[in-house]
Amino acid sequence: MSTENEGNAVPPAPSAPPVPVETPAASAQGAPPAGDAPTAPIPAVPGTPGAPEHESAPAGMPAYASNGAGQGADPYGQAPARGSAPEAGWPPPPATPAYADGGGAGHGGWGSAYQQPAPKPKNGRGGLVAAVLVAALVAGGVGGGIGYSLAKNDDNSTDSTTVSAPSTSGQVKRASGTVANVAANALPSTVTIEAQSTNGEGGTGTGFVFDKQGHILTNNHVVADAVDGGKLTATFPSGKKYDAEVVGHAQGYDVAVIKLKNAPSDLKPLALGDSDKVAVGDPTIAIGAPFGLSNTVTTGIISAKNRPVASSDGSASSKSSYMSALQTDASINPGNSGGPLLDSAGAVIGINSAIQSSSSGGLGGSGQSGSIGLGFAIPVNQAKYVAQQLIQTGKPVYAKIGASVSLEDGTGGAKITEQGASGSSSVEAGGPAAKAGLKPGDVITKLDDMTVDSGPTLIGAIWTHKPGDTVKLTYTRDGKTHTVDVTLGSREGDN
């Protein structure tokens, strides 16, 4: 897979402006034969940098996706192979939403080169037109000079009513909590990440300084191209660029940690907030490199909490990511992936990861949608826990109940499938679900106080917990409702 491609070269501006079009009377004499006159093609409208990487969701589709009847998903991170019976493996990649990092390399910029028009004839009225144009330019220059002189004299007169700003106006002290103040403090600790695979494919995403040892926190899908021997760099707003390496990555959580090589000693980690205390309506500030435009700052609010989101890049080998996300209307576009979502105090409350896409295609008709006000971030409390695991062991650890659940909609909850992978039992023998008495066909409707309306919702909710936590599951069987305590198990790694 590739991430949003940054750095499309922009052709230089034309060296000379187009010659003004003559009046019909002036061009009537000496005109070249029709069809032989050179033309100056109109430059194409700038296209969206990069081709679409991820499948855009049809308009109106929910943040989590159903992948068809009969396919099951294990809430600890595995899914059935495409076309196979439900397995206790990774759930098949859902259709929504797309990762917020964009597609592979594309050709942006102005689409056609400038072509100088042919010189106009110098005899007849053509020369007269040229002389008139020169005279007009000279008159314009004189008029401009007179106007500037009058304006200057008037500005110095005692009758002037204008008020000049004090000479110190450029040294405005922006109060703590303002967007400008938060951005000024956070930008120096935010990096633009360029990941490239061994075959040259790759693109751009975002990350931020996690600690003083040089660890950078980002999304798994931002660095996926560089995992197996690829090239990885991180560039600070100051322009300083560092080579980096992947320390660990978690596909299910969509979290990755990279480390700068020869990291500077003056790194300033961003402060981590408490995503559990975030409230709907709280202001948000997102930083990233949308469509390759590094160090971009956007604002919004928290639109919703605990939004169940399942996302993937849509490729056949892709493994889905699940989160109980923070939803924000701050503008998030391809290239924002891995960047920090901040609160009004400048503390990180989430990692921007995915966007809901419309079906109409994106900017410039590329088929890749931009922000429609539906962005999703991994809560920082979960991301912090995962990052610490990756730094310590290089592998993620997932909580599990040991049962495969269906991804189809309309089940009224998370339904335990009749069969697991390759015809095996959908309830792991001796696992947490089996010990709690859960059986195939049971429909889980709540986890603690959280309503569960689908398999992806259950998976995302379970992954907000740690192995060993005890949760209360409410489920229905034969029309009756039951409640049971389940102590979550664990699984290490993505495979």
Cβ(292)–Cβ(300) below 8 Å: no
Task: Using the structure block, give the residue that is written with the tokens 């002189």.
Answer: 149
Q: Which sequence positions are flagged as catalytic?
A: 221, 254, 337
DSSP state, residue 30? S
Rounded Cα–Cα distance for residues 3 and 232 (Å): 12
Cβ(183)–Cβ(285) below 8 Å: yes
- Residue 399 phi/psi, 5-degree rounding, is -80, 150
Beta strands in 339-488 (DSSP E): 340-342, 348-355, 375-379, 397-400, 405-406, 414-415, 443-447, 450-451, 470-477, 480-487
Beta strands in 197-282 (DSSP E): 202-209, 215-218, 231-235, 241-250, 255-260
Rounded Cα–Cα distance for residues 404 and 370 (Å): 34
- Collapsing DSSP to helix, strand or coil, 448 comes out as coil
DSSP state, residue 28? S
Q: Could you tell me if residue 316 is left (phi over 0), alpha (psi between -120 and 50 degrees) or otherwise beta?
A: alpha
Cis-peptide, bond into residue 97, ω within 30° of zero: yes
Cβ(443)–Cβ(458) below 8 Å: no
- Collapsing DSSP to helix, strand or coil, 310 comes out as strand
Rounded Cα–Cα distance for residues 366 and 242 (Å): 32
Cβ(121)–Cβ(458) below 8 Å: no
The residue among 16, 11, 21, 9 whose CA lies nearest residue 43 is: 11
Cβ(51)–Cβ(73) below 8 Å: no
- Residue 394 phi/psi, 5-degree rounding, is 80, 0
Q: Which two tokens stand for residue 256?
A: 């990755």
Residues in the chain: 495
